[in-house]
Amino acid sequence: VHDAVAVATTETITLSGEQTIDGILTSEDRVLVKDQTDPTENGIY
């Protein structure tokens, strides 16, 4: 069983550095990336 994600993307994002998604800073959170142009970049980070 994995920890839950805090947020999920709704568009392509940069996969480095801190991101703010839905007003939540993601540096310490698990994020579901699901809308990347390159589908191999989708996943939980």
Both structure tokens of 8: 């999920």
Q: Give CA separation, 23 vs 2, 26, 41, in Å.
A: 23, 9, 22
Domain segments of the chain as ranges: 1-25+35-45
| pLDDT over threshold 80, residue 8 | yes
| pLDDT over threshold 80, residue 26 | no
pLDDT band of 4, cuts 50, 70, 90: very high
Do residues 8 and 36 make contact, with C-beta atoms less than 8 angstroms apart?
A: no
The Cα 5–Cα 24 span in angstroms is 12
**30-45 tens-digit pLDDT:** 999 999 999 999 999 9
Strand partners, 7: 31
